[in-house]
Chains A and B, each alone.
Chain A
């Protein structure tokens, strides 16, 4: 089976916004996050995407907290760690934890309106400008290069995808490039197969890309990505629900469902070692 037939499963364990009131399985503490990382790994995830939280569930960029998460996770399983760098707060407060040398770090690739519209109320549930200037993008990319983390370029629209050219020109990313397409956020690209295919066509040959579907769109979009040759991210950050409508009791349950979809597609889940060989074909990286 070729590398193209292998599917790298990622799991976004916790996010920064939702709470245990929304879904009791959302982990807060480093130990809880590490336990969820282990469940995701055992179900087939090779990469876990992590935001840090205080014990009360509020988001934090504390380097100490990230360090504890990394320590607890590595004590339990060898899954590859992917730090978030996106969200509230100035860039300077969202960069220190990269010195802990995760294997991967998320890199938001552009600015946009970020909103949720209520059709019933004819008003926004929330709206803000998700600001990621090129200065910030380049600053994060340089820090990731300095600390050996592979950028996961998070693209909410085609312009974001196209902006990888700047990083390429400056030598801040190494092939194979690693893209994530987040679909269905109001202000970004709509969540449809046609738009996903268009995004996939924008990346340089040999790149890896995955889809990040939000809420109930996650499963059909995952199937579309599998048909188009992409990888898949699931996890409680993006969606609480299994395809049958039941709330997931762990990230592992979501990853297991993603693995089932991979099997149905005729492709196979990339093991940890296969994932390393795919994303770091020449070695290097923070893989120990």
Chain B
């Protein structure tokens, strides 16, 4: 039996809050220009909207989801990248800008990518990330991320710092996983799962994400039962693999919804709340 480990990267191996600061700042600056709110007084209004939405998400994460095609597919509060979309929507609504859904989605796409690029130069890794990844050399470990492949590969190269200890991982990064994309026409496995304290269902038919991992499992001659997935957002990173029978590890942070923490803990031994990255190898590769 070959065990396989799939790691998320942003927020899992990095401190997304610190790393995302230029992303948030740049996104808000651009929105300030586009809404005409660049001068001091109106900019304060824009910042107040952002703070209000952020506080509301933090206080009640179950009520604030990240929307995709009209449905909520992840908690919006967990990292700055997800959080920015509802914040930006609230600002654009307030200023009556980009009211057409298609135009707004296009604007989000370009603002998101443009400002995400600003984080590339200053990756902020979690303590122990380098040691963990170096220790996984020789295992069937891959990175599957929603982010740009080259961006994440670049971060790993930065973390490697020319030592070569992480070179084995450079070509094992698979970006644009579209983990948020739910495909109802795909009838493989349950459509949803229920989590206590979360009123809405967690949608699990994330076909493109599934197909990406399936390809890796096929290459390793392994099945979903042989797989461990570790990420920082249960709904996005872990729900589909769990539905397929994989082990799941949640690297929680201060913004992780309590309902996700409790649910993953309740999955023991199939699920684990990971407080320290050093716990990952034993959890992932135990028989």
Please list the residues of chain A having a beta carbon within 8 angstroms of any beta carbon in chain B. Answer: 190-195, 197, 216-217, 219-221, 223-224, 226-228, 243, 261, 264-266
A6 to B264, CA, bound (A): 46
Interface core residue of B33, B97, B103 (most chain A CB under 10 Å) = B33
Is B146 part of the contact surface with A, judged by Cβ < 8 Å? Answer: no
Contact between chains at B103 and A265 (CB < 8 Å) = no
Contact between chains at A192 and B34 (CB < 8 Å) = yes
Chain A residues with CB under 8 A of B33: 191-192, 216-217, 220-221
Contact between chains at A193 and B34 (CB < 8 Å) = yes
Kindly identify which residue among B29, B36, B114, B117 contacts A192, using a CB–CB cutoff of 8 Å: B36
Q: Can you report 29 residue pairs joining A to B where beta carbons are below 8 Å apart?
A: A192-B36, A193-B35, A193-B97, A194-B35, A194-B36, A194-B95, A197-B103, A216-B33, A220-B30, A220-B33, A221-B33, A221-B34, A223-B30, A223-B107, A223-B110, A223-B111, A224-B98, A226-B110, A227-B104, A227-B107, A227-B109, A227-B110, A228-B106, A243-B114, A261-B110, A264-B109, A265-B106, A266-B106, A266-B110
Is B113 part of the contact surface with A, judged by Cβ < 8 Å? Answer: yes
Kindly identify which residue among A190, A226, A227, A266 contacts B36, using a CB–CB cutoff of 8 Å: A190
Chain B residues with CB under 8 A of A197: 97-98, 103
Q: How far is the CB of A273 from chain B (nearest CB, A)?
A: 26
Chain B residues with CB under 8 A of A227: 98, 103-104, 106-107, 109-110
Chain B residues with CB under 8 A of A194: 35-36, 95-98
Chain B residues with CB under 8 A of A195: 36
Contact between chains at B110 and A264 (CB < 8 Å) = yes
Kindly identify which residue among B36, B98, B110, B117 contacts A265, using a CB–CB cutoff of 8 Å: B110
Contact between chains at B36 and A224 (CB < 8 Å) = no
Q: How far is the CB of A231 from chain B (nearest CB, A)?
A: 15
Name the CB-closest residue of B to A193: B34
Chain A residues with CB under 8 A of B104: 227
Contact between chains at A220 and B34 (CB < 8 Å) = yes
A264 to B111, CA, bound (A): 9
Q: How far is the CB of A222 from chain B (nearest CB, A)?
A: 9
Q: How far is the CB of B98 from chain A (nearest CB, A)?
A: 6
Q: How far is the CB of B99 from chain A (nearest CB, A)?
A: 8
Chain B residues with CB under 8 A of A224: 34, 98, 107
Chain B residues with CB under 8 A of A192: 33-36, 95, 97
Q: How far is the CB of B88 from chain A (nearest CB, A)?
A: 12
Chain A residues with CB under 8 A of B107: 193, 223-224, 227
Q: How far is the CB of B43 from chain A (nearest CB, A)?
A: 13
Known pairs A193-B107, A227-B104, A265-B106; list 6 more (Cβ under 8 Å). A190-B36, A193-B35, A194-B95, A220-B29, A227-B103, A261-B114
Contact between chains at B35 and A264 (CB < 8 Å) = no
Q: How far is the CB of A113 from chain B (nearest CB, A)?
A: 19
A216 to B30, CA, bound (A): 10
Q: How far is the CB of B112 from chain A (nearest CB, A)?
A: 9
Name the CB-closest residue of A to B33: A220
Interface string of B212-256 (1 = CB under 8 A from A): 000000000000000000000000000000000000000000000
A221 to B104, CA, bound (A): 14
A219 to B106, CA, bound (A): 15
A191 to B37, CA, bound (A): 10
Q: How far is the CB of A232 from chain B (nearest CB, A)?
A: 12
A193 to B117, CA, bound (A): 22
Chain A residues with CB under 8 A of B117: 264
A194 to B100, CA, bound (A): 11
A227 to B113, CA, bound (A): 13
Q: How far is the CB of B117 from chain A (nearest CB, A)?
A: 8
